[in-house]
Amino acid sequence: MNDQRKVEVDPLNISFARAMEVVTWAGIAILLVFGLIYMFGAPSFVDMQQAVEHWHEPAGDFWESVSDTSVQGYGWFLTRLTKMDAISMVGICVLGLAPLAAILAALARSLRSRAYLLIFLVLTLEFLFAIVRPLIMGGGGE
């Protein structure tokens, strides 16, 4: 790349991007590897044929029909980590944590700037609240 095309990207941005990329690929790998194993017939929490028969039902009814389980919070898949589809769900959790990892990486880079340190600290707290919010407040809004 010649000098005319060279762009200086600030280190805070690069740290954010690197952390996001690593965690995203980890999440996608877990989601896809275990998801595909599940789709090829490995032991699962939800039988595929049953899933197809009931996937037109609202989420609550679907889980009652396919597993006789009332779904609320994260325990429904975190307590079944021997099942391939449940492990695949962990991949989505990892994807959900990717921006948090990126924010923490940016926070570590912004120790000299009081303004950004404060902004990233607030963002971290907000994100942690977003994770526990469904457990405290249920599923209202997004």
- State which of positions 93-112 bind another protein (CB under 8 A): 93, 95-100, 102-103, 106
Please calculate the CA angle 66-94-19 and round it to the nearest 5 degrees: 165
On whether the CB atoms of residues 11 and 64 are closer than 8 A, the answer is no
- Give the count of residues interacting with another protein (CB under 8 A): 79
Q: What's the closest the beta carbon of residue 18 comes to another protein, in angstroms?
A: 7
30 binds another protein (CB under 8 A): no
Question: Interaction with another protein in 68-97: which residues (CB under 8 A)?
Answer: 71-74, 76-77, 85, 88-89, 92-93, 95-97
Among 40, 41, 56, 68, interactor with another protein by CB under 8 A: 56
Exposed / middle / buried, residue 60 (Cβ in 10 Å: 0-12, 13-18, 19+): exposed
Question: To 10 degrees, the CA torsion angle through 84, 89, 91, 94?
Answer: -150
